A and B are shown apart, each in its own frame.
Chain A
């Protein structure tokens, strides 16, 4: 089955700096790569996703890039704010079924 590795496990940045989280996947047939944000004590919520026919997608301060050849994808957050502090999960799947998650990155934005 699919295996998703995520790095780093923790990340501290100064407010206003950028944060980058990287993931690799094992199943070359995976074609859907979402990112979820989970605030403390809350449920995970989708923040951005990308499909295998797209190399990059941006939504305001958040962007994702996908390298299908290398089987890795990344989340970029620019101009970080304290409210960006949370745990971020990458995930991969074939279509919408059996979404496999990474182990999470705890992002701390220091004011």
Chain B
């Protein structure tokens, strides 16, 4: 099992550019989520999904879109990048059966100039 795989690991964007962070898991997890991690602010939930075709907003959804067409994939789209979106992004998944443990990807470090 590869677990949760995120790509790219590093990305530099210019303000206004768009991009997609990819997340894939091979554990047949129903629940998937995206967090951003900023110094002193912990991990903040951007969007989450409880299954294919179902997504919902988290704490800081503005400027981001998600979709969940398959159980395995949960891409995060930045529509028009802003310097405030400079952060480390983590994708995390869980079985969704009440066991609760989140399995994180390695993270994607995004810099917006």
A46 on the interface (CB 8 Å rule)? yes
Interface contact A103-B41, CB-CB below 8 Å: yes
A65 on the interface (CB 8 Å rule)? no
A93 on the interface (CB 8 Å rule)? yes
Interface residues of A in 28-72 (CB under 8 A from B): 32, 34, 36, 42-46, 49
Contacts of A101 in B (CB 8 A): 35, 42-44
Say what secondary structure dominates the interface of chain A. strand
Say what secondary structure dominates the interface of chain B. loop
Contacts of A49 in B (CB 8 A): 100-101
Q: Measured between C-beta atoms, what is the minimum distance from B39 to chain A in Å?
A: 9
Tell me whether A97 and B48 are in contact in the complex, defined as CB-CB below 8 angstroms, given that A43-B90, A46-B101 are known contacts: yes
* In-complex Cβ contact of B42 among A34, A45, A89, A93 (8 A): A89
* In-complex Cβ contact of A97 among B31, B35, B44 (8 A): B31
A78 on the interface (CB 8 Å rule)? no
Alpha-carbon distance between A69 and B16 when the two chains are bound, in angstroms: 48
Contacts of A104 in B (CB 8 A): 40, 42
Chain A interface residues toward B at CB < 8 A:
1, 6, 9, 32, 34, 36, 42-46, 49, 89, 93, 95-104
